[in-house]
């Protein structure tokens, strides 16, 4: 083998030996990158937040308020036909009640004392009821829910006169009032048991048998 041939063989062997460490280094670097990726994935899975609530634990539903019909008496004894501050305060308290918010029908009955003639007292009682209705309307209560009734002097809360027949101004003042009744909505009413037709039929008397 000539000198030049031997020199070429030595260079080729040196190149092969040089490439082997580079290939090994590249493989080692790839393994290191993969290991880092696996480590990040494992750490992410380990650090993922977990719910402190068990799946079978369900929060309790909020309790529904116990609704009851409302009956509010708004006095007009000192104000005549106008709604005063005391009356507005009573209505504001009623507006904050859950029964009124439930959406049931509202009956507004106006009353008067016995002074004057029946016709005038009937008109006065209606004006008082309308004053209450208008205030509720201004607070957002739907007009479809409200029914105004004028009773005049027919349903006195207390006797208008004293026992000896003399006039009683304080009693008459109590009778000048408006009664507001808020009923429960139809869905909230307790269903009544159906009538026993058999019992009704048994208790009925045939008019032909009566003489």
In a domain, residue 52? The reply is no
23 with 107, same domain: the answer is: no
Six-digit token string for 74 = 């708004």
Phi/psi of residue 74, each to 5°? Answer: -100, 115
Task: Examine the pLDDT at 5 and tell me if it is beyond 60.
Answer: no
- Taking residues 177-197, what's their average pLDDT? 75
Task: Examine the pLDDT at 196 and tell me if it is beyond 60.
Answer: no
94 with 182, same domain: the answer is: yes
pLDDT of 173: 95
Task: For residue 178, give the nearest of 144, 207, 148 by alpha carbon.
Answer: 148
**High-pLDDT (> 70) share of the chain, %:** 58
Which band of pLDDT confidence, cut at 50, 70 and 90, is reported for residue 79? confident
83 with 181, same domain: the answer is: yes
The domain tally of the chain equals 2
- Taking residues 112-139, what's their average pLDDT? 96
pLDDT of 207: 43
30 with 96, same domain: the answer is: no
Task: Examine the pLDDT at 30 and tell me if it is beyond 70.
Answer: no
Are the CB atoms for 182 and 100 separated by under 8 Å?
Answer: yes
In a domain, residue 195? The reply is no
DSSP structure class, residue 150: E
- Structural domain that includes position 108: 70-186
Task: Examine the pLDDT at 135 and tell me if it is beyond 90.
Answer: yes
Question: E strands along 132-194, which residues?
Answer: 146-152, 177-182
pLDDT of 204: 42
pLDDT of 155: 95
In a domain, residue 23? The reply is yes
pLDDT of 10: 57
Strands, sheet with 106-111, edge to edge from the N-terminal-most edge strand:
70-75, 177-182, 106-111, 146-152
Which band of pLDDT confidence, cut at 50, 70 and 90, is reported for residue 187? confident
């Amino acid at each position: 083998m000539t000198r030049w041939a031997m020199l070429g063989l030595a260079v080729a062997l040196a190149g092969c030996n040089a490439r082997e460490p580079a290939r090994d280094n590249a493989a080692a670097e790839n393994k290191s990158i993969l290991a880092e990726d696996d480590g990040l994935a494992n750490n992410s899975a380990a650090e993922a937040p977990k719910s402190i609530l068990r799946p079978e634990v369900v929060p309790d539903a909020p309790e529904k308020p116990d609704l009851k019909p409302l009956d509010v008496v708004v006095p007009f004894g000192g104000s005549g036909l106008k709604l005063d501050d005391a009356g507005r305060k009573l209505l504001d308290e009623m507006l904050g009640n859950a029964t009124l918010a439930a959406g049931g029908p509202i009956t507004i009955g106006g009353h008067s004392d016995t002074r004057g003639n029946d016709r005038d007292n009937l008109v006065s009682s209606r004006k008082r009821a309308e004053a209450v209705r208008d205030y509720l309307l201004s607070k957002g209560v739907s007009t479809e829910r409200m029914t105004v009734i004028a009773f005049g002097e027919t349903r006195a809360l207390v006797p208008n006169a004293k026992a000896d027949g003399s006039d009683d101004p304080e009693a008459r003042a109590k009778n000048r009032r408006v009664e507001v009744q808020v009923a429960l909505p139809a869905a909230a009413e307790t269903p009544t048991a159906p009538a026993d037709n058999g019992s009704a039929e048994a208790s009925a008397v045939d008019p032909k048998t009566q003489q």
